[in-house]
Structure 1
C-alpha cells in the first residue's frame, strides 16, 4: 500500500488560517492587544533568526487579534441612551410576527444630525406603513444598550446573536408612534435587496401551492422566516435541513444553470468570457442573499476554482477553503460565531479530508466511483455538521443518507424551474405547466421528509454536547484522519485506541451536572423563581393564569440548553400569591405586603403588585433581602426601594438585576 503524504506546500494557507482563527477567538479578551504586541515582537525575533515560517504564524496570530478588536461593532453614542430621540436609517432586515415587526436598522442620523453609523434592533407594534428591506425610515423611540447578559448558564442569548450581527442598541416602538418610510436607500446592495423582496413577493402572490411557495422562497433567497415551524422540524429530523440554508449545494446548482444558459459562449470558444460572467453572476446572487457566510464561502471557492480554469492552473481545494475563510473573517470577524459559518466550513473540511479516502471504489471504475463518492461525500458532510448540529439543535438524524438521494436528484430541477419561474414572472407570465411541475416536485420532497421524520428511530433528540466531549470528538477525528493519510501499525493503533477511548468517555462519563441553585431571572411583567431539581425545573411565578402557557413555552425555549446540561426533562409551573416556598433553610416569600412575622431561616421577600410603600413605617421585622417584582409600578418601586434602604434593608429591583442564590 502506498502512503499518501500531506505537505504544507499543497495547502500553505492552512496553518496560517488556524493561527488567524485562534487570534480572532482571543481578540475579545481584555489583554488581547498586549498579547498581539508580544506576538509581533516575538515574530520579529523569529524572522531575524531565520525562522521565517514560525514568524509568519506569529504574525497571523497577532493579525487575528487586531482584526477582532478593530471589527467590533460600532456602539451607539452613550449620550443618547435612555432618551427619546428621532432615529433615521436604512432597514437591513425585517421580520413580521403575529403581533410585532422586528427591524434591524443601520442608523445614520439622530435628531437630524449625521452620526457614525451603528445598527439598532427595534421591536415595532405598528404594521403601517409597509416597510421593506433597503427602505430609509424615520421614527421616534427611546434607545437602550443591547442586553447580552444571561440569567442562567447556557441560556438562549438572543442579545449575543444580535451583537454578532453588528447590533449594539435596541428600541421599542409602541403602538401609535409614527414611522415614516422616507425613500428607497441607494447603492448596489440596497438595489439587490429590493430585487430580492420583489422575487419573494412574486412567489408569494403566485398560483403555486403554499408548500411550494415557502420552499422556493427559502431555497432561492434564503428567507427562511417564511417556512412553517412544522416543516422546518421535519427537514431537521429527516437530515436535509442543509437544503434550507443557502450553501455550496445551491451555488453549485446555480453555477450549473448559469453554465447551461451561457452554453453558446462555449460553442464560440469564449470559455474565459463565460467564466468571468459566471463569477459576476454568482457575486450578484451572494449580494442579493445578504452575503451569508455559507453563500460567501461557496462563491469565493467557486470564484477561485473558475479563475484557476481561466488561468489554466491546478485547483487547490484546501487552499481555496482557507482563502474563503480568511476573506470572510477579515471583513466580518464576528462571523466565526455564526452557526452558518461553522456548519458550512466544517462540512467542506470533512468532505476534503474524508470523502475520497472513504471511497472503496477505484477511480478506474469511473461510474461506480462517482456513485460511491456521492455516498462518502454525504457521510463526510454529516460527520462534519453532525456534532455542530447536536451542539446547537440537540438533534441528530439517522436516515440522512436515504433522504438525500431524492433531494440530490430533484433539487437541480426545482431550483432551475424556480429561477425560470422568477424570470418569467417579471414579464407577467406564470405558465400553468411550470406551476404544475414545481408543485409536483416540491410536493414529493415534502411528503418524503414528512414520512421519514415520523419513522421509528428517525432521529436522536435531546442531545447535549459538552465542551469536553467536543474536544474528545475532535481528537478522535484527527487520529482517524492521520490513520487514513499515514496508514501503518502505529497510526492505526493510536487511532483505534483514541476512538475507543472517546466512545468509553462519552458512554460512562456523565455529561450533565447537578445544580442546587435558586435563580430569579429578569422578567418585565411578573416575578419568576426557578428551582432546578433534576429531573424537574420548578417555576414559581406571580404571573396571571392566562400567562402560564406563554411562560412555560418561554422557559422551555430560553432555558432548553441549560435543562439538557442539568439532566432536566420537565417543567412544573405554580402560581403563588401570599405564599412561602421553602428550599432547605431558605424561605422565598411571595407577598404584596411585609409579613408581621417571619419563619426561621434565611428569608427572601418578593414584593408583588399591590404593595403600598406607606406600610413600611409600621413594619417591625424585615426579611434578609427584599426583591421588587417587575410587575410593580416603577414610581412605587422607587419609593419602596428608598424607604426600605432607609430602614437598613437590602433591596434588589428584579427588572434590572438577575439573582442566583
Structure 2
C-alpha cells in the first residue's frame, strides 16, 4: 500500500467530522466496527485479496468513536446550571483588562449539595471585576457552572467547539467576592520552569528592543499573539501574513537549524546533535503550550531525523498524514482548530504544488523560482481556508509574503542570537538589539505601506463543495491529477457538460426571483438582513445594553461578510436605543452603506449624535422618513411606512414609541416590522386605514408585556411571529404574551432558543427555517438517505464493472505520477 497513513487519516478525520454533526449511538458504532473487522478477515482469508474499502469504513468508525469519547469525557458538565464550590489552580491568564478578567482553571475538587467530587478538568473562569489572582494560585470559587453556547448564527465563531478542541467543556462567571485565594504559586515544577522561561525571554526582549518590536518578537517566539494590539493583528491578517505569528514549521525549522549549527560548532556528533535538537524542540513546545502547529512540526522533524539516522526512505506526504493521525488520536477535536487546519494545508500545499509552480517560473524567472514557488504554493493552497475564516481576498498578499516574511524571519534568527548572547554579555546583546530594531522598523514601515496600498475584496465563505471543486481544478491545472488517459472525445463531453452547468446556474440566477430574510441572533436586540436579488437592506444593527461586547463588530459585520455582502443599499434604524442601533457604529467605515433611514431626530441622545457624526464623516446620507411614505426596493418589493408621524426633533421620554414601523411587501407576502413600540403606539397604528393583513410579524419590544395588545394582533392577523430576544433581566419574552399569540394560532420563532431565523420567499414558495436544531440521530439519517445510498452503491458497482471491462490497450495509456492522490 502506497502512503498507507493517508488511507488511515482521511477516513478517521471524516469520522470525527460526522460525530460532530450527528448524534452517535455508541453500541451501534461498536457493533459496526466488529462487523467490519469480521468482514475484512473473511475477505482476506477466503478471497485472498486486499480491499481498502473495509479499512476506510473501519477507520471512519474509529474516528467516530474517538470524537464521541472526546466530546463526552467531561465530568463537570453534569453540574451544568448548578451552584457549586470548586477548588482549582489558575493555569493561564486569557484576558486581564479594566473590570474584566478571564482565566483557565484546572479544577481538582467540586462540592455540590455537601458532597465532594475529585476531578481533573479545565474550566474558563470569568470575573466581572478586577481581582488579585495570579498564575499558580490555588483558589476556591462558588457560583454556577455553565456549558458554553455554540454559535447561533451559521459560519460564525463557535466558542463552544473552540473550547472543546482545547479540552475545556464548561465555564463559570462570577465577581471577585466569590473568589478566595487558598494558596499562592501552586504550579508544578514544569509549569514553574515554563513561566520563568517566558518571563526571562520577555525581560531580555523588552530590555534590548523597542516596545513595539519586542511585542512582535514575543508573539512569535512565545506563540502568543495577545502581545500585539488589535490593530497590528488586523494588519497581519489583512495582508495574509498572520501565519507568521503562529509558531509554525518555518519557526521550528529556524530553531532546529540554529540548534544544529551551535552543536556542530561545538563538535557534537551529527546523530547525537540531531537527537538533542529534537529533544530541545520538544521541550520548547512544552514551554509554550504545544499549539497544533508545533506538534505537527515536531513530529515531522522527529520522523525526518529518525529516517536520516536509520537510513530509511522519507516520504513527506505519508509522514504528514502520520503526524496528523497521531495528533487526532491524542486530541480528535483539533480537526476543527484553525491553527491545525492552516498548518497542515500550508505544509501539504508546499509538498504538492511547489515543484509544479517552480517549473512554471523556471522558464522565464529562474532566479526568482526558488523564492516565489513556496510562497505561491502556500497562497494557492490556503486561499479557500483563509477565505472561509477571514472573507478577505488580498491580491497583494503574495507581495507582502515575498517582502515581509523574509524580513521577519531574519529578525527572528538574529533575536535568537541576541537571547543567547545576553546570557554572556548584555552589552553585545544590546548592540545586536540595535540592528534588530532597524530591521523591524523597516518591516513595520513596509507593512504599513503595503497595507495602505492594499485593497480588500470581501468574499463569501466557500462551502465544502466549492473548496473540493477548487482543489480538484488546481490539481488538474498543475497536472497533479492526470487527465492524459481520457480520450479527447470524453474530455470534450466533460467541457460541454461544464459549460452547460455554468449556463444553467447563470441563467437560473438571472431568472430566479427571491427574497432571503435573516433575523440574526444578536442576543438581546434586533437585527435583520433582507437579501433581494438586486438589493441588500439591513433593519437595525443590534448592540449591547448590559456589557461592552461589540455586536456590530463581532456578529453583524462578520455575518454579512461571510454571506458575501459588501454593500448595503439601506440601513433602517427603528430607534436610537443601544440594542437596535449601537452596532451601526462598527458597520460604518467597514462596509459600504448607501443610505441610512431614520424616523426621527433626537439631539439629546448620544448614540444618535455619534451615528450622525460618523455618517457625515463617511458621506452617508441620512434620510428622514415618516408615515405614508413608500420606498420601492424593486419591481417585486416595497416598504410602506406606518409610523412615526413626525419629522421634527423630539425630546421624547419613551423613544420606544418613536420606532419605525413598516410593512415589507415582497412576492405577495407581507412582514410587519415593529421596533419596540408599546401599547399606546399600537392603538394609534390599529386606527390607520391600512386594509392588508400580514403573514409575519416581528413581535414588538422582544415580547415585552408592554406590547402585543389583543387589538393589535387581531388587526394584522399574522400567521407567524418572530421574537428577537436574548438573555436578559427584563423578563422578555413575557409568558402571557406568548400564550396570547399561541391562542391566536400564531406559530412563534425566537432567536434565544432557535438561533438565526431565516424566511425564504419566492414567487411560488414560502418557508421559515431556524439554525439551531438538535443533532440528527445516525439511525434516522441512514433511514432518510437509504434510497440515496442505494443509488450511489449501484452507481459505484456499474463504474467498477466498466473499469474492469475496459480494454487492456486503453488501460496501458494510463500514466499516473507518484504524486497523484485520488
Which of the five TM-score ranges fits, normalised by the shorter chain? 0.7 to 0.9
**Partner of 2:573: helix, strand, or coil?**
strand
Matched residue, 1:4: none
Structure 2 counterpart of 1:122, from 111, 122, 125: 125
**Contact 2:726/2:751, CA 8 A, preserved across alignment:** yes
**Contact 1:24/1:68, CA 8 A, preserved across alignment:** yes
Distance 1:200 1:95 in 2: 21
**What's the CA shift for 1:469?**
1.9
Matched residue, 1:5: none
**Contact 2:215/2:228, CA 8 A, preserved across alignment:** yes
**What's the CA shift for 1:110?**
2.0
Matched residue, 1:148: 150
Q: Deviations over 1:256-296 (max 9, x none)?
A: 1111221245x35x222212211111111111222211111
Matched residue, 2:383: 386
Residue 27 (1) aligns with residue 19 (2): yes
Distance 1:465 1:322 in 2: 24
CA shift in 2, pair 1:583/1:531, >3 Å: farther
**Partner of 1:591: helix, strand, or coil?**
coil
Residue 587 (1) aligns with residue 672 (2): yes
Residue 574 (1) aligns with residue 573 (2): yes
CA shift in 2, pair 1:118/1:509, >3 Å: farther
Distance 2:189 2:502 in 1: 50
Matched residue, 2:86: 87
Counterpart mapping for 1:201-280 below 5 A? 201-202=202-203, 205-206=206-207, 208-265=209-266, 267-268=267-268, 270-280=269-279
Out of 576-585 and 291-300, give the one that drifted further.
576-585
**What's the CA shift for 1:554?**
4.1
Matched residue, 2:445: 447
Counterpart mapping for 1:540-579 below 5 A? 540=540, 550-564=550-564, 569=568, 572=571, 574-576=573-575, 577-578=656-657, 579=659
CA shift in 2, pair 1:120/1:420, >3 Å: same
Matched residue, 1:321: 320
Residue 309 (1) aligns with residue 308 (2): yes
Distance 1:559 1:87 in 2: 37
**Partner of 2:119: helix, strand, or coil?**
strand
CA shift in 2, pair 1:542/1:141, >3 Å: same
Distance 1:293 1:641 in 2: 50
Q: Deviations over 1:191-234 (max 9, x none)?
A: 35424541464267435223211210111111111222332233
Counterpart mapping for 1:404-443 below 5 A? 404-407=401-404, 409-423=406-420, 429=426, 431-443=429-441
Distance 1:61 1:37 in 2: 14
CA shift in 2, pair 1:357/1:567, >3 Å: closer
**TM-score for the superposition, normalised by structure 1:** 0.83
CA shift in 2, pair 1:312/1:563, >3 Å: closer
Distance 1:289 1:500 in 2: 54
**Partner of 1:126: helix, strand, or coil?**
coil
Residue 13 (1) aligns with residue 5 (2): yes
Distance 1:601 1:609 in 2: 19
**Contact 1:304/1:320, CA 8 A, preserved across alignment:** yes
Distance 1:250 1:496 in 2: 47
**Contact 1:247/1:294, CA 8 A, preserved across alignment:** yes
**Partner of 2:377: helix, strand, or coil?**
helix
Distance 1:504 1:102 in 2: 55
**TM-score for the superposition, normalised by structure 2:** 0.68
CA shift in 2, pair 1:428/1:608, >3 Å: farther
**Partner of 2:163: helix, strand, or coil?**
helix
**What's the CA shift for 1:433?**
1.0
Larger Rg: 2
Matched residue, 2:41: 47
**Partner of 2:312: helix, strand, or coil?**
coil
**Contact 1:343/1:384, CA 8 A, preserved across alignment:** no
Counterpart mapping for 1:255-654 below 5 A? 255-265=256-266, 267-268=267-268, 270-360=269-359, 372-407=369-404, 409-423=406-420, 429=426, 431-455=429-453, 460-480=457-477, 483-484=479-480, 488=484, 490=486, 509=505, 515-519=515-519, 521=521, 523-524=523-524, 527-534=525-532, 535-540=535-540, 550-564=550-564, 569=568, 572=571, 574-576=573-575, 577-578=656-657, 579=659, 580-584=661-665, 585-589=670-674, 590-593=676-679, 595-596=682-683, 598=686, 600-602=693-695, 604=697, 606=699, 608=701, 622=713, 627=723, 633-634=729-730
Matched residue, 1:166: 167
- The number of residues matched between the two structures is 639
Distance 2:497 2:382 in 1: 22
Matched residue, 1:100: 100
**Contact 2:282/2:298, CA 8 A, preserved across alignment:** yes
**What's the CA shift for 1:411?**
3.9
**Partner of 2:207: helix, strand, or coil?**
coil
Q: Deviations over 1:527-579 (max 9, x none)?
A: 31414234434233786999999443344345244442x67557725143224
**Contact 1:476/1:499, CA 8 A, preserved across alignment:** no
Distance 1:96 1:612 in 2: 39
Give the unaligned 5+ runs of structure 1: 1-7
CA shift in 2, pair 1:104/1:640, >3 Å: farther
**What's the CA shift for 1:443?**
1.4
Matched residue, 2:782: none
**Contact 1:552/1:571, CA 8 A, preserved across alignment:** no
**Contact 1:123/1:171, CA 8 A, preserved across alignment:** yes
**What's the CA shift for 1:19?**
2.2
CA shift in 2, pair 1:541/1:313, >3 Å: closer
**Contact 2:372/2:402, CA 8 A, preserved across alignment:** no
Distance 1:542 1:346 in 2: 36
**What's the CA shift for 1:300?**
0.5
Q: Deviations over 1:127-179 (max 9, x none)?
A: 321433x55433333222211141x3333333332233333222222365435
Distance 2:492 2:247 in 1: 36
CA shift in 2, pair 1:59/1:102, >3 Å: same
**What's the CA shift for 1:509?**
4.9
Residue 190 (1) aligns with residue 271 (2): no
- Structure scoring higher RCO (CA < 8 A, sep ≥ 6) equals 1
* RMSD over aligned Cα atoms: 4.2
**Contact 2:220/2:247, CA 8 A, preserved across alignment:** yes
**What's the CA shift for 1:17?**
2.0
**Contact 2:150/2:159, CA 8 A, preserved across alignment:** yes
Distance 1:354 1:243 in 2: 20
Distance 2:85 2:425 in 1: 41
**Contact 1:522/1:658, CA 8 A, preserved across alignment:** no
Distance 2:740 2:134 in 1: 48
Give the unaligned 5+ runs of structure 2: 576-655, 760-822
**Contact 2:522/2:542, CA 8 A, preserved across alignment:** no
CA shift in 2, pair 1:317/1:629, >3 Å: closer
